Structure 1
């Protein structure tokens, strides 16, 4: 990676969202990080350089609990990314969030068990306790909701994302528990991605597409194919939403606190 340019916007694509045709003049990049090498694509759209990172790999070969979240976020920070648009496929625990709806989570419940969730484990970096009152950038969420409204796409701003390790789906008993705790959506990838982005002082928002009702709520057993089919059926709206956001997003705009959450300890350093 030459390092002679800065990419300020990134899209992290989840299940069914990998689409190399979203960008023009696409080139492959390999970024070295202390946590491993990251392969991603960089292209242009509306005159802006945008990084596209396929979370599960280009062939969907990386299970959610095996994703190198730290390397991914560090690589985007190293490129100069300031704003991350994450996309996820989720099951719904909330009957107000139906198949095909787009939801912008504003909170999460972390039920992962086997993931390294911080850049600050002691040693040279020390220990830092990051504030996650607003884990998902309020300003970025507001922009996405406004664009959805203008395009006639149903976007719900707010909801609690329950993150599990996977790769198995959840039991009906787990879904009942998550629902009792206030969960609205369930997925396998948003934590620690969101908290690492917070530690790295980048704006981060997730566009979650409801691809199924969760176990025990759904009338049928869950399959990966139904998730992919639902994503494909709604991919046009997903694409319109993201491409309009990319065209209108000002990566240098600073209307939130995301870039300053570690100001008290001197900020995040590469």
Structure 2
């Protein structure tokens, strides 16, 4: 099939490749100046739209958040023609409306990570480059996801400040209290530097967050993997429904809109 739009990149878990109506075309290994991506790109077609799926933590799921090669991942997608990326992220809920299985389309983020390779602009440069990062998520793409969630009647929040932490451990209750004072509504470990690397490549980037647990200190019990797995099972159908509804419109973005 001849595609008239740019392919859409979707970064997340391998389970997303089971989207209803998705035709898998094949896998693509992409070499980058920054090493190997987390996994081969899975090429597919959804509602006539070309998509590339990338398993952020590898396949099988074995790369911890602080060791993901974010630069190789974003570079591989860009080199494959992707100009709009949807980052699907499992997150913890801080805001009282954002409990397990709730979907959030955040509008801002705060970066608490450290020591991660977080820019393409280093080494032997011709000049120093500072990109504007006032709005880390492409607003036009956010609006597409919001309309898709409304059309699918999926419970969601169309706002939120994502706090990106280092991991792989979960946070302390005191750390979550500090993040809440900072204005964070969500906490996750993979939102950065993914978003800023997409911006450096002039790609549209938007986050589709699935809350999989209350953040530390926000419930009366400790966080368990059983709780997280149950929330993923309950909420992933909504994520898939939004992606299926919006992927063609997202593909129409060939470069960053205002």
Same fold (TM over 0.5): yes
Cα distance, 1:239 vs. partner? 1.1
Cα distance, 1:250 vs. partner? 3.7
Cα distance, 1:158 vs. partner? 1.5
Instruction: Please tell me whether the aligned partners of residues 164 and 192 of structure 2 are also in contact (alpha carbons under 8 angstroms).
Output: yes
Moved more, 100-109 or 197-206: 100-109
Aligned to 1:20: 17
- In the TM superposition, 1:117-136 aligns within 5 A as 117-124=118-125, 126-136=127-137
Instruction: Please tell me whether the aligned partners of residues 83 and 254 of structure 2 are also in contact (alpha carbons under 8 angstroms).
Output: no
1:139 maps to 2:136: no
Measured in 2, the distance between the counterparts of 1:52 and 1:207 equals 14
Measured in 2, the distance between the counterparts of 1:254 and 1:112 equals 28
Gaps of 5+ in 2: none
Structure 1 residues 50 and 116, CA gap change in structure 2 (3 angstroms):
same
Cα distance, 1:59 vs. partner? 1.4
- In the TM superposition, 1:65-104 aligns within 5 A as 65-104=66-105
Cα distance, 1:6 vs. partner? 8.6
Structure 1 residues 31 and 116, CA gap change in structure 2 (3 angstroms):
same
Structure 1 residues 254 and 80, CA gap change in structure 2 (3 angstroms):
closer
Gaps of 5+ in 1: 258-270
Aligned to 1:52: 53
Cα distance, 1:125 vs. partner? 5.8
**Other structure's SS at 1:179 match:** helix
Structure 1 residues 7 and 150, CA gap change in structure 2 (3 angstroms):
closer
Measured in 2, the distance between the counterparts of 1:248 and 1:169 equals 35
Structure 1 residues 126 and 6, CA gap change in structure 2 (3 angstroms):
farther
How many pairs were matched up?
A: 251
Give TM-score, length-normalised by structure 1: 0.88
Measured in 2, the distance between the counterparts of 1:132 and 1:65 equals 21
**Other structure's SS at 1:105 match:** coil
**Other structure's SS at 1:87 match:** strand
Give TM-score, length-normalised by structure 2: 0.91
- In the TM superposition, 1:1-270 aligns within 5 A as 8-14=7-13, 18-22=15-19, 23-38=22-37, 39-124=40-125, 126-252=127-253, 256-257=257-258
1:58-110 CA-to-partner distances (Å, cap 9, x unmatched) read 21111000100000001111011011111011111110222222111111111
1:9-29 CA-to-partner distances (Å, cap 9, x unmatched) read 111114xx6332333133111
Measured in 2, the distance between the counterparts of 1:165 and 1:225 equals 22
Give the RMSD, CA atoms, in angstroms: 1.8
Structure 1 residues 211 and 64, CA gap change in structure 2 (3 angstroms):
same
**Other structure's SS at 1:165 match:** coil
1:129-161 CA-to-partner distances (Å, cap 9, x unmatched) read 111111101001111111111111122112110
Instruction: Please tell me whether the aligned partners of residues 13 and 86 of structure 1 are also in contact (alpha carbons under 8 angstroms).
Output: yes
Measured in 2, the distance between the counterparts of 1:198 and 1:227 equals 30
Structure 1 residues 122 and 114, CA gap change in structure 2 (3 angstroms):
same
